[in-house]
Amino acid sequence: MPALVGVVQIITIAESGIFNIGDVYKIQPISQSKTFAGSGSFVTGDNVKIENQYSSTNTYDQDGVDMPIAFTL
């Protein structure tokens, strides 16, 4: 659907980012990452109390590839 767009200023776009104005059929950024974090690492909020007596994060990944992106285009 056509649209009128005013002034657009782009300062930066990340390496795997996408910028689009107008009609589009398919937008598919290609990137992958794996995050390991210990207990309570991503907790946000007010008055958060975390007690981790004996916590460890296992970073060993025996399969190596969780979800390949090679044939997703």
- What is the DSSP annotation of 4-59? -----------TT-----S--S-------------TTTT--SSS-----SS-----
Distance, CA of 53 to CA of 33 (rounded, Å): 29
| Residues making up the chain, counted from first to last | 73
Residue 72: the pLDDT is: 61
Task: Read off the pTM.
Answer: 0.37
Compute the average pLDDT of residues 48-71. Answer: 75
Residue 49: the pLDDT is: 83
User: 20-59, pLDDT tens digit by residue?
Assistant: 887 888 887 677 777 888 777 788 888 888 887 777 777 7
Tell whether the model's pLDDT for residue 16 goes beyond 80.
Answer: no
